[in-house]
Amino acid sequence: MQKRQRGFSLLELLIVVAIILILASVSVPNLLRARMAANDVAAVASLRALHTACFMYLTAYGGYPPTLASLGSPPGGSLTSATAADLLDSVLASGSKSGYTFTYTAGAAVGGQISTYTVVADPIRRGATGERGFFTDQTGAIRANPTGTADANSTPIS
């Protein structure tokens, strides 16, 4: 008489693994799409924060900042200044956050003051870290391009 062994057979384990793989193949693309959508929303929020920081810089120093880094934290706890105004977190001031790169371009200085700027936010890897490109300037309107880099002629978002 043979003893019945306890545990699962190889066939039962293979069936469980197959079910897990099917579930993973369905859920992983949805997870990636949700992550890209979250990065898009975070990019818009970062552009709003950038616009607010630029307006505060304008109020404090009489013109818009010459660089994105000018909105960041001063080194080693030193006092804030026009070159380190401490108006943005250091991650965003570095130019990259939540799967997007932020390119700040200051307008020409007139009388020593910068009166315009533009910020372009593009996904680090389009289709992987984000879908749309975004744009804003001193007007505060945020514009989006679903297929490429956004500019002043792109569709405004609400």
Instruction: Sketch the domain layout of the chain as residue ranges.
Output: 10-156
In the prediction, which pLDDT does 31 show?
Answer: 85
How many CB atoms within 10 Å of residue 147? 9
Q: What is the pLDDT of residue 1?
A: 59
* DSSP conformation letters of 111-153: TTEE--EEEEEEESSBTTTBS-EEEEETT---EEESSS---TT
What pLDDT does residue 79 have?
A: 82
- Residues of the chain with pLDDT below 70 are 1-3, 5
pLDDT of residue 2: 67
Please tell me the total number of residues recorded for the chain in this structure: 158
List, for residues 10-42, the tens digit of each pLDDT value: 888 999 999 999 988 888 888 888 999 999 999
Return the pLDDT at 109: 94
